[in-house]
Structure formats: C-alpha cells, structure tokens
C-alpha cells in the first residue's frame, strides 16, 4: 500500500477511537513501557500530544519520567527547514500550542541531539521491521539522524504493525521498539 494510503488508513482508525479509549489505551501503553529495559538512562525525549489528531496521550509517560527523576527533553518544530530544537523541561518551561496544534516549549535550556538517550517517536503507521510512517515532513528522520548511534527509539501506537508492504525511503531510521496497549514489539 502507498504511504499516503496508509496515512489515510491510520488517521481514520485513530478517528474512530472514543475519548475513553484514547485514555485507556494511552494508560495501557504507558504501563507496557515499564517492561522495557530502558530505565537506566538520563535524557528522555518526549513529544507532547496533538489532541486534535488523536495521538497517543503522552501525559502518563511524562508522569512516569518525572516520577523517576529523569531529565525530560521537549522540542520546538521549525517548519522552515523541518528541524527540531530541543529544550530541557523545567518548572519554568512555558508550553504553547503552535499553528499545527502541537504543544511546544517557547524557549529554555537547549540540549543537543547527541545527549539524548531515549526517544519516544510519534507515528501514524509502522511495519513488522520497525520502519515508520509519520506525517511526511521528515522531522523525526532528520532528528534521529543527528542523535548518537546507540540512541533507543521507541514508537508509540494504538495499533499493531501494518502487514502490507510499503516503500522504505533511504532516510528512514527504524525503531528499536514499538509499544501498543497490548504488547511490546522489538525489532
Ligand atoms: N505530537 C507530535 N509532535 C511532533 C510530531 C508529531 O508527529 N507529533 N512531528 C513528527 O514529525 C513533528 C511535527 N510534524 C508535523 C508534520 C506535519 C504536520 C501537518 O502538516 N499538519 C497539517 C495536516 C495534518 C494531517 O496530515 O492531517 C495540519 O495540521 O494542517 C504537522 C506536524 C514534530 N513534533
Ligand atoms: N535526514 C534527512 N535529511 C534530509 N531530508 C530528509 C531526511 N530525512 C527525511 N528527509 C526528507 O523528508 C521528507 C519526508 O520523509 P518521510 O516521507 O520519510 O516522512 P515521515 O517519516 O512520514 O515523517 P516524519 O518523520 O515527519 O514523521 C522526504 O522528502 C525526505 O526526503
């Protein structure tokens, strides 16, 4: 199936979820995450949820990370060059929704990509090899290419992997894990 057909398919699947399901499944994903062998690190990069797109609600993960006293990194998107600038989340971090409804830090203490140990990756679809499809601007492909080679990439999805083939571009950086409400996939 083409990437654009898969984007449509998974947007439609997400759109069918009720608020209750979004909540329950997001909590289940956060609980599954606790089973992963990734809790010794210091710097964890998280995306904040675009509620309007019915993305996984990462608030539960945020609570786990702060409960474990981890350093949490958030990004601000630059739509001129599809790059991300990373900031440490502190008590003083002001969060504002951008034009795409993404809650983002306005500014703060900048953190370089090569410091980050674990990245939670947003996605629309992924396959059984850990290749992913996002909204199609390549933000995460560029960001992950800039991270250290052993950075741990964890996709979050309400759905199991897509079984039909899709073309994987040469820039695609595959996931190490994908976590769904039901289980953890390791690639
Ligand atoms: N929560 C979250 N933050 C993230 C991402 C993400 O997927 N989720 N991104 C991952 O790369 C980057 C932002 N990527 C984006 C790329 C395109 C559009 C966009 O074109 N939005 C259109 C239409 C959306 C649609 O396809 O339905 C719009 O809002 O009008 C938005 C965000 C960085 N931050
Ligand atoms: N490392 C990179 N350097 C330069 N351009 C890149 C890089 N990675 C991806 N791109 C470009 O970004 C565009 C979108 O890539 P792709 O279709 O793989 O996005 P996606 O994985 O669906 O989206 P996203 O990463 O935003 O969630 C493509 O035109 C691709 O050439």
The encoded tokens of residue 82 equal: 């599809």
Q: For residue 42, how far is its CA from the centre of ligand 1 (angstroms)?
A: 27
Q: How many whole angstroms separate alpha carbon 88 and alpha carbon 66? A: 12
Alpha carbon of 137 to those of 32, 69, 172: distances in Å? 29, 32, 12
pLDDT of 157 reads 98
Beta strands (DSSP E) in 29-151 are: 43-45, 71-78, 83-88, 95-97, 103-105, 118-121, 125-126, 132-133
Q: For residue 125, how far is its CA from the centre of ligand 1 (angstroms)?
A: 14
Q: What is the ipTM of this complex?
A: 0.94
Give the domain range for residue 79.
Answer: 3-186
Which ligand ends up closest to the CA of 75? 1
Confidence of residue 18 (pLDDT cuts 50, 70, 90): very high
Q: How many whole angstroms separate alpha carbon 20 and alpha carbon 126? A: 24
Contacts of 8 (CB under 8 A, 6+ apart): none
Count the domains in the chain: 1
Give pTM, 2 decimals. Answer: 0.97
pLDDT of 115 reads 98
Which CATH number covers residue 19?
A: 3.40.50.10420
Whether 139 is in the pocket of ligand 1, judged by its Cβ within 6 Å, is yes
Question: pLDDT tens-digit profile of 80-96?
Answer: 999 999 999 999 999 99
């Amino acid at each position: 199936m083409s990437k654009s057909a898969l984007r449509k398919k998974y947007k439609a699947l997400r759109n069918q979820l009720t608020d209750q399901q979004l909540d329950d499944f997001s909590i289940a994903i956060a609980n599954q995450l606790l089973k992963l062998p990734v809790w010794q690190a210091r710097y964890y990069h998280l995306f904040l949820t675009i509620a309007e797109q019915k993305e996984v609600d990462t608030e539960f993960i945020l609570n786990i990370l702060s409960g474990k006293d981890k350093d949490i990194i958030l990004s601000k998107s630059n739509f001129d060059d599809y790059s991300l600038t990373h900031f440490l989340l502190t008590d003083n971090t002001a969060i504002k929704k951008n034009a795409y409804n993404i809650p983002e830090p306005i500014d703060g203490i900048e953190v370089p990509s090569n410091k980050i140990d674990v990245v939670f990756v947003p996605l629309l679809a992924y396959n059984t090899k850990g290749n992913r499809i996002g909204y199609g601007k390549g933000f995460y492909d560029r960001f992950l290419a800039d991270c250290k080679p052993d950075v741990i990439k964890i996709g979050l999805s309400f759905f199991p992997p897509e079984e039909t083939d899709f073309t994987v571009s040469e820039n695609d950086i595959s996931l190490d894990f994908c976590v769904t409400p039901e289980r953890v996939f390791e690639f």
